[in-house]
Amino acid sequence: MMDVNGLSEYLPLLIPLVLIQIGLLTFALLDLVKRSEETLNGSKVMWILIIALLNVIGPILYFIVGRKDE
């Protein structure tokens, strides 16, 4: 089991990753809610699940593949 000192070694690396994850998740979900079904590749429910369950990769996939050009 990891002690508190071992965890404190990794905190400077984990905090930015968690903040990036939360930022990407929030931005992707807000963008998804604003879009109509016609401007998406797939359904909103599918993209909500992908964004929420695939951590950092889900929001990135949404921004690359999920949105159609307007």
In-domain check, residue 29: yes
Rounded CA-CA distance 28/58 in Å is 9
Expressed in angstroms, the distance from the first to the final Cα of the chain is 51
In-domain check, residue 5: no
pLDDT tens string 35-69? 888 888 888 999 999 999 998 899 999 999 988 76
Q: What is the pTM of this model?
A: 0.79
In-domain check, residue 27: yes
In-domain check, residue 49: yes
Which residues face 40 on adjacent strands?
67
Domain interval for residue 45: 12-66
In-domain check, residue 1: no
Return the SS3 of 53: helix
Total domains in the chain come to 1
